[in-house]
Amino acid sequence: MMLGESHSLKHEFPELENLIDHLIASDMHFAKEAARYNSLDTEIRKLELKGSPIEDEDMKRLKMERADLKDELYELLQKASQ
């Protein structure tokens, strides 16, 4: 994995791009969580590109939070696609 690599929702799930757009426009909870996920991803990328000027445990916590959010959002995407 490259440092600073994008993990945005559309990058992670390109096959679900239209559904992501639809849910962001129509589901307030999904939109809020997607915005939080993408903001967290941006923060992590900036820190990685600056050489991770935070403690390893803090970076690990941020990445775990991003992974948990991604799992939650993917579950919402799966339910919406049924």
Residue 6: pLDDT over 90: no
Segment 66-80, tens digit of pLDDT: 999 999 999 999 999
Segment 25-75, tens digit of pLDDT: 999 999 999 999 999 999 998 888 887 677 889 989 999 999 999 999 999
- The pLDDT, as a whole number, for residue 1 is 47
- The pLDDT, as a whole number, for residue 8 is 82
Query: Residue 72: how many CA atoms within 13 Å on its side-chain side?
Result: 14
The number of helix segments (H) and strand segments (E) in the chain equals 4, 0
What is the separation of C-alpha 27 from the centre of its chain, rounded to a whole number of angstroms?
A: 17
- The pLDDT, as a whole number, for residue 52 is 67
pTM of the model: 0.84
